[in-house]
């Protein structure tokens, strides 16, 4: 799923044109492994995708003079687009051979790659399908530990798993931007624990008005422009 998101005046998620649109546009590719016989659980895929974004942001190669740093800066200076594609079998093995990081959850595997220009995808990734990432939870996820980071998904907006994975990644990134260096280091050292849960409809208005980072989708795919999709609730931001 191809996604944008934001909450600031010149945000990477606003639907209307901003200064970010004048910059060259990049995209963060994520590939989720979906084998026919053993697809991942939906919630685990969302959580793994969110952690994958954080792992990429915190990697030494993404910082300073690291080999990915320029691409990451260019990507973050424009709209922080994310595209989730799916792979299995030989497709997944070819994706794993490319420069990137694989993050593993309980049932999910997600590989994140350095940002690439919108029209500059590696051929191994460009061939992968965007559609078909419809996943289910075999069992309802346990209640989230509200003392830790929670990415609250909108109870009002239906999304495919691929779209929701990208939105969860947006939420994690917005929280990362808002944290102090010390808070980022602590989250990183802990392994980026987080939960992704759908908010209670009765609680959604309070969450979106709480001052926590909110993802508002640009509306390029699936949902209407400006839709609030995720609230990033990190203890360091309360």
Q: What is the pLDDT of residues 194-235, one digit of tens each?
A: 999 999 999 999 999 999 999 998 766 677 778 899 999 999
Cα 45–chain centre separation: 11
Is residue 137 in some structural domain?
Answer: no
Q: Give the pLDDT confidence score for residue 18 in this predicted structure.
A: 53
Query: Does the residue 177 lie in any domain?
Result: yes
Instruction: Report residue 49: phi and psi, to 5°.
Output: -65, -40
In a domain, 92, yes or no: yes
Residues 68 and 61 sit within 8 Å (Cβ to Cβ): yes
> Does 165 reside within a domain?
yes
Distance, first Cα to last Cα, the chain: 30
- For residues 38-49, average pLDDT: 97
The predicted pLDDT at position 64 comes to 96
- Per-residue pLDDT for 4 more than 60? no
Domain that holds residue 53: 2-130+144-237
Phi/psi-derived region of residue 70, left when phi > 0, alpha when psi is between -120 and 50, beta in every other case = alpha
Contact 5, 165 (CB under 8 A): no
Separation between Cα atoms, residue 37 and residue 54, nearest integer Å: 29
Phi-psi region of 192 (alpha: psi -120 to 50; beta: other; left: phi over 0): left
Residue 227 located in a structural domain: yes
The share of the chain scoring above pLDDT 70, in percent, equals 88
- Distance (Å, whole) CA 62 – CA 131: 29
pLDDT of residue 131: 77
Contacts of 33 (CB under 8 A, 6+ apart): 40, 86, 87, 88, 92, 108, 109, 110, 111
- CB 49 within 8 Å of CB 40: no
Secondary structure class of 26 (helix, strand, coil): strand
Chain segment 53-75, per-residue pLDDT in tens: 999 999 999 999 999 999 999 99
Question: DSSP character for 140?
Answer: P
Which pLDDT belongs to residue 24?
74
pLDDT at 2: 39
d(CA 147, CA 132): 34
Residues 87-102: tens digit of each pLDDT: 999 999 999 999 999 9
Rounded to whole angstroms, how far apart are CA atoms 188 and 237?
Answer: 16
Please indicate, yes or no, if residue 170 is contained in any of the structural domains.
Answer: yes
Instruction: Return the SS3 of 195.
Output: strand
Is residue 89 a part of any domain in this protein? yes
Residue 146 pLDDT > 70: yes
Least confident window among 6-15, 133-142, 156-165, 173-182: 6-15
CATH number at residue 177: 3.40.1490.10
Angle subtended at Cα 42 by Cα 141 and Cα 119, rounded to the nearest 5 degrees: 145
Give domain status of residue 186, yes or no. Answer: yes
**Cα atoms in the 13 Å half-sphere on the side-chain side of 169:** 33
- How many Å separate Cα 214 from the centre of its chain? 13
For the chain, the domain total comes to 1
Given a cut of 90, whether residue 17 has pLDDT beyond it is no
């Amino acid at each position: 799923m191809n996604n944008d998101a934001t909450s600031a005046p010149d945000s990477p998620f606003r639907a209307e044109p901003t200064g970010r649109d004048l910059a060259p546009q990049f995209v963060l590719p994520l590939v989720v492994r979906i084998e026919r016989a053993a697809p991942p659980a939906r919630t685990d895929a969302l959580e793994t995708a969110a952690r994958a974004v954080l792992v990429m942001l915190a990697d030494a190669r993404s910082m300073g003079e690291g080999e990915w740093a320029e691409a990451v800066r260019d990507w973050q200076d424009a709209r922080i687009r994310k595209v989730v594609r799916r792979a299995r079998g030989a497709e997944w093995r070819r994706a794993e051979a490319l420069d990137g990081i694989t993050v593993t959850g309980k049932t999910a595997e997600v590989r994140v790659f350095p940002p690439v220009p919108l029209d500059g995808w590696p051929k191994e990734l460009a061939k992968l399908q965007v559609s078909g990432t419809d996943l289910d939870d075999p069992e309802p996820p346990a209640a989230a530990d509200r003392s830790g980071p929670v990415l609250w998904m909108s109870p009002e907006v239906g999304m495919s798993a691929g779209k929701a994975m990208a939105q969860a990644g947006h939420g994690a990134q917005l929280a990362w931007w808002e944290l102090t260096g010390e808070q980022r280091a602590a989250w990183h050292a802990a392994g980026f624990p987080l939960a992704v849960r759908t908010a209670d409809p009765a609680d959604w208005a309070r969450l979106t008005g709480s001052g926590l980072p909110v993802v508002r989708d640009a509306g390029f795919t699936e949902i209407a422009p400006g839709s609030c999709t995720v609230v990033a609730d990190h203890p360091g931001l309360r």
